[in-house]
């Protein structure tokens, strides 16, 4: 397991030198943020980002994300050009030495919450999703700004895009995803870039839009679209764990054992009602996800890829990008690393004791 940390570039209030001070932290998860969606990422820009991170004493471990243009998700004729651009971006990333790419296939909106600064009992604040609140929201209201809302669209363009998706069924979205996957994974295989699709967050439909990467059956179907270790998952415990139907440790063991987990987001959530949850500290006791079992599963199938502590509360008076403060994510990283170290030592000691007992038994025999 390689500990990594999300960094939003020079505009991020969390500095690279602070991230490096987190015990066990070696890698950065980032992206090129000033290239329009669908355009090719210049090799020079990727190398510049990589060098900046290298000078800070870490490596650029994962690109999150190379966004998928909406025309690809909608299956429009223009998708072929955008797919060609995506393929070239993967080639450029590989040439720069980056070999893990996270992305998603969520229509219009990325991860979405109903509140950014919900106060908890300890006076920290956190991100919250309340389905009753979301159902009353108008996605065309230009005054509404929440995580996951693409503010690059003007109201009229956003309305047109949402209406376009009104004509797209889940099955059609599956077909468009398959078209995309069958085009990019051969390139990813050729340049040895492991692709990692992020689950839909939350794992159910919002605003009537189709969402398909939501549960074990759908993850199985996705992986069957192209059977390759380069076509894998970003296993996000918080996104999938928002649904009580998803057994997170069991799913992780299942897909990890099959070699299809290429990246891990470790986040805890507390389910508070039907399709409602709040984000909490990473500790198992804080939420609905048993992080000990999550880390045990990673150890058992020998996960050696990147993992990042995903989202955190805003604590100790920190301000900045909601969910992406330094302090709580740093605590989460140390907690996860400690769990993993304890699990690994426990297994090694158990194995050593078993070997010793076997030797003694043979000597007595």
> Which pLDDT value is given to residue 163?
86
> Which pLDDT value is given to residue 131?
94
> Which pLDDT value is given to residue 352?
66
Is the bond preceding residue 202 a cis peptide, omega within 30 degrees? yes
- State the catalytic residues: 198, 236, 265, 310-311, 324
Is the bond preceding residue 65 a cis peptide, omega within 30 degrees? yes
> 104 vs 68, 148, 214, 238, 356, CA distance in Å?
7, 12, 12, 15, 48
Bridge-based pairing of strands 125-130 and 2-6 is unpaired
Dist CA 214 CA 241 (whole Å): 10
Dist CA 33 CA 103 (whole Å): 14
> Which pLDDT value is given to residue 147?
65
> Which pLDDT value is given to residue 87?
98
> Which pLDDT value is given to residue 354?
59
> 42 vs 88, 175, 182, 186, CA distance in Å?
9, 30, 24, 21
> Which pLDDT value is given to residue 362?
59
> Which pLDDT value is given to residue 61?
98
> Which pLDDT value is given to residue 142?
60
| Residue-range domains of the chain with CATH | 2-364 (3.20.20.150)
> Which pLDDT value is given to residue 348?
85
pLDDT (tens, 9 = 90+) of the chain, 365 residues, equals 899 999 999 999 999 999 999 999 999 999 999 999 999 999 999 999 999 999 999 999 999 999 999 999 999 999 999 999 999 999 999 999 999 999 999 998 888 999 999 999 999 999 999 999 988 887 776 656 666 666 666 777 778 888 899 889 999 999 999 999 999 999 999 999 999 999 999 999 998 899 999 999 999 999 999 999 999 999 999 999 999 999 999 999 999 999 999 999 999 999 999 999 999 999 999 999 999 999 999 999 999 999 999 999 999 999 999 999 999 999 999 999 999 999 999 988 876 665 555 545 556 66
Half-sphere exposure (CA, 13 Å, Cβ side) for 158? 16
> Which pLDDT value is given to residue 189?
98
Dist CA 177 CA 105 (whole Å): 7
Tell me how far apart the 2 most distant CA atoms of the chain are, in Å: 83
């Amino acid at each position: 397991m390689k500990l990594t940390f999300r960094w939003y570039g020079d505009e991020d209030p969390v500095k690279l030198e602070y991230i490096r001070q987190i015990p066990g932290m070696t890698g950065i998860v980032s992206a090129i943020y000033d290239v329009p969606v669908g355009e090719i990422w210049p090799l020079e820009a990727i190398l510049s980002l990589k060098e900046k991170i290298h000078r800070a004493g870490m490596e650029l471990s994962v690109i999150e994300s190379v966004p998928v243009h909406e025309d690809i998700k909608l299956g429009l004729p223009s998708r072929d050009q955008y797919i060609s651009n995506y393929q070239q971006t993967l080639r450029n990333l590989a040439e720069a030495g980056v070999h893990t790419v996270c992305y998603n296939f969520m229509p219009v909106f990325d991860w979405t919450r109903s509140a950014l600064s919900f106060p908890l009992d300890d006076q920290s604040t956190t991100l919250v999703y309340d389905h009753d609140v979301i159902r009353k929201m108008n996605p065309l209201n230009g005054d509404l700004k929440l995580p996951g809302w693409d503010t690059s669209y003007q109201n009229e363009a956003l309305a047109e895009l949402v209406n376009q998706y009104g004509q797209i069924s889940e099955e059609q979205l599956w077909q468009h995803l398959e078209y995309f996957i069958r085009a990019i994974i051969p390139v990813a295989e050729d340049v040895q870039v492991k692709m990692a699709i992020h689950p839909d967050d939350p794992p159910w439909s919002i605003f009537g839009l189709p969402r398909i990467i939501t549960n074990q059956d759908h993850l199985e179907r996705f992986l069957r679209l192209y059977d390759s270790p380069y076509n894998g998952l970003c296993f996000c415990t918080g996104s999938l764990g928002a649904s009580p139907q998803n057994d997170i440790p069991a799913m992780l063991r299942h897909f990890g054992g099959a070699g299809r987990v290429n990246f891990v987001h470790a986040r805890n959530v507390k389910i508070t009602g039907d399709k409602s949850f709040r984000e909490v500290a990473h500790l198992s006791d804080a939420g609905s996800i048993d992080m000990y079992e999550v880390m045990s599963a990673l150890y058992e199938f020998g996960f050696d890829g990147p993992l990042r502590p995903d989202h955190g509360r805003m604590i100790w008076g920190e301000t900045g990008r909601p969910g992406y403060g330094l302090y709580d994510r740093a605590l989460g990283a140390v907690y996860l690393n400690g769990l993993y170290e304890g699990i690994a030592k426990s297994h090694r000691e158990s194995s050593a004791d078993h070997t010793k007992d076997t030797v003694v038994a043979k000597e007595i025999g």
